[in-house]
Amino acid sequence: MALLDVRGLCARHGAVPVLDDVSFHIERGEIVALLGGNGAGKSTVARAVSGLHRPSSGEVMFDGRDITRADPRRIVQGGLSHVPDGRRVFPSLTVEENLTLGAYLDGRRKNVVAQRREAVYRTFPRLAERRAQRAGSLSGGEQQMLVIGRGLMSDPSLLVLDEPSAGLAPASIAALAEDIAAIRAAGTAVLLIEQHLQLALRLADRLVVLQEGHVILSGSTAAVAADPRIGRMYFGDGNPLK
Ligand SMILES: Nc1ncnc2c1ncn2[C@@H]1O[C@H](COP(=O)(O)OP(=O)(O)OP(=O)(O)O)[C@@H](O)[C@H]1O
């Protein structure tokens, strides 16, 4: 049984159809990248699986349960954590306070929260060094680490990352790739929403490509990358792996 199984998802913003019959799945411990241009519907998929956007039809199954219309807090508690795009930290709070907020649903279990924080600090030693610093003073790459770390504070089995590389310098993107690989190595599956094709190719086991709300391609990273349609989408021509 897949960890996440999205079946025939349709969604609208008002009267405008945004997703049409979107289906894909993620196995435990897998990285699946969801690719597509601006406005293709990627963030709407992320919001629909995490309960923030109510689909007009279709189903979202997570860990064997139907979460299509579940309360977003229940979805987090069930093990699905969503790190939205925009890299929003609480700038006047410290790194540690920002992390603690990621476990607000477990707020009374102080020991559990402290253990999870230490686990995040092991994954992101830079955050440990800056734990008492105000989040607003961090670099863009560090703020990205912080929002991902905050997403890990609910101890998810699936982390949904919406455009984590957006606006980062190449060195920060390289560090981000290592961080995401480490998160997967620790057993957490990742739905990686990206416009950065090379990052997706490097990390993902499988790719799903959205265009105007439709899945136009999906399969193993090697198979999708070799499809001429993706070469045309990103490079005008050719195979991005060559
Ligand atoms: N709150 C909203 N109200 C109305 N339309 C919206 C809303 N949010 C998104 N849309 C529209 O829905 C479509 C899909 O948007 P979505 O943000 O899911 O795409 P995306 O692939 O994540 O794009 P981007 O990479 O630009 O964030 C777009 O045409 C967008 O303009």
Beta-ladder partners of 80: 158
pLDDT computed for residue 13 by the predictor: 93
DSSP letters, the chain, are --SEEEEEEEEEETTEEEEEEEEEEE-TT-EEEEE--TTSSHHHHHHHHTTSS--SEEEEEETTEE-TT--HHHHHHHTEEEE-TT----TTSBHHHHHHHTTGGGTT-HHHHHHHHHHHHHH-HHHHHTTTSBGGGS-HHHHHHHHHHHHHTT--SEEEEESTTTT--HHHHHHHHHHHHHHHHTT-EEEEEES-HHHHHHH-SEEEEEETTEEEEEEEHHHHHTSHHHHHHHHSSS-TT-
Q: Is 125 within 8 Å of 132 (Cβ atoms)?
A: no
- Looking only at the bridges linking them, the beta strands covering 57-62 and 4-13 are antiparallel
Residue ID of nearest Cα to ligand 1 atom 17: 43
Ligand 1 pocket check: which of 10, 12, 16, 18 to mutate, most ligand atoms within 8 Å of Cβ?
18
Domains, the chain, ordered by start: 4-235 (3.40.50.300)
Share of the chain above pLDDT 70, in %: 96
Q: Which of 215, 182, 217, 222 is nearest to 200 (CA)?
A: 222
Q: What's the pLDDT score for residue 104?
A: 82
Question: What is the structure's pLDDT at 63?
Answer: 96
Please, which pLDDT band fits residue 28 given cuts at 50, 70 and 90? very high
Residues with CB under 6 A from ligand 1: 13, 18, 36, 38-44
- d(CA 103, CA 153) in angstroms, rounded, equals 5
What phi and psi values does residue 10 have, to the nearest 5 degrees?
-125, 140
- Predicted pLDDT of residue 235: 60
What confidence score (pLDDT) does residue 163 get? 96
Q: Which band of pLDDT confidence, cut at 50, 70 and 90, is reported for residue 11?
A: very high
**Dihedral angle at the C-alpha atoms of 37, 79, 178, 128, nearest 10 degrees?**
120
- What is the interface pTM, i.e. ipTM, of the complex? 0.91
Looking at residue 120, its pLDDT comes to 96
Q: Whose CA is nearest to atom 7 of ligand 1?
A: 13
Q: Mean per-residue pLDDT for 204-213?
A: 95
How far apart (Å, rounded) are the C-alpha atoms in residues 45 and 208? 12
If pLDDT is split at 50, 70 and 90, which confidence band does 230 have? confident
- 238's tokens: 């050719």
pLDDT band at 236 (very low <50, low <70, confident <90, very high): low
Closest CA to 89 of 145, 130, 24, 41: 145
Q: What is the pLDDT of residue 238?
A: 46
pLDDT at 96: 97
Average pLDDT over every residue of 119-131: 95
Instruction: Say yes or no to pLDDT of 237 above 70.
Output: no
Ranges 82-96, 101-115, 215-229: which has the least confidence: 101-115
Looking from the CA of residue 213, the nearest atom of ligand 1 is 14
